[in-house]
Amino acid sequence: MKKSVRLAGLVVAGVAALSFSFAGTSYANDSVTNTTATVNQEQTSKSGDYQYVGSEWLDSKKLFVKDGEVYLRLAPEGAMDAPAPLLLPKHLGEKYLKNPKAFSGWIVHRYVKYLQFPNLQELRFDFHDSKNHYQGTATQPYWLP
């Protein structure tokens, strides 16, 4: 049986990082903390259709409040052909409203699912705290330009 390994280089907050997937398990190694995080597909996804896109530090400057809800800006304000801001899960929004600094050192793992409908993707974001404990997931559709 032939097994394949997928390698992808990415930049996390301006620092080079390496991620790869092997036998259903994703690995990420970043030079910021010089640690390796292992994410099992069974832990992060109910469906194997999601593809890992990358990880980045959660930038609290991208979080904002509108009508009592907390959003994560995925693209610069006013950007054309870009995903809309992501609504955070209610429990994470409440945590942010109580203490915005609580999100310091958090990591966001990004995934995408290509739906059968033309030009439509589902974006998924898994939030992990500074100790790499899973805190929640937010998803949203995105219409490709």
More confident residue, 5 or 116: 116
Q: What is the count of structural domains for the chain?
A: 1
Task: Please say whether the beta carbons of 82 and 74 come within 8 A.
Answer: yes
Task: Tell me the residue range of the domain where 17 lies.
Answer: 5-143
How many helices and strands in the chain, by DSSP H and E?
A: 2, 11
Model confidence over 62-87: pLDDT tens digits?
A: 999 999 999 999 998 888 888 899 99
**Taking the model in full, what pTM does it have?**
0.64
How far is the first Cα of the chain from the last one, in angstroms, to the nearest whole number?
39
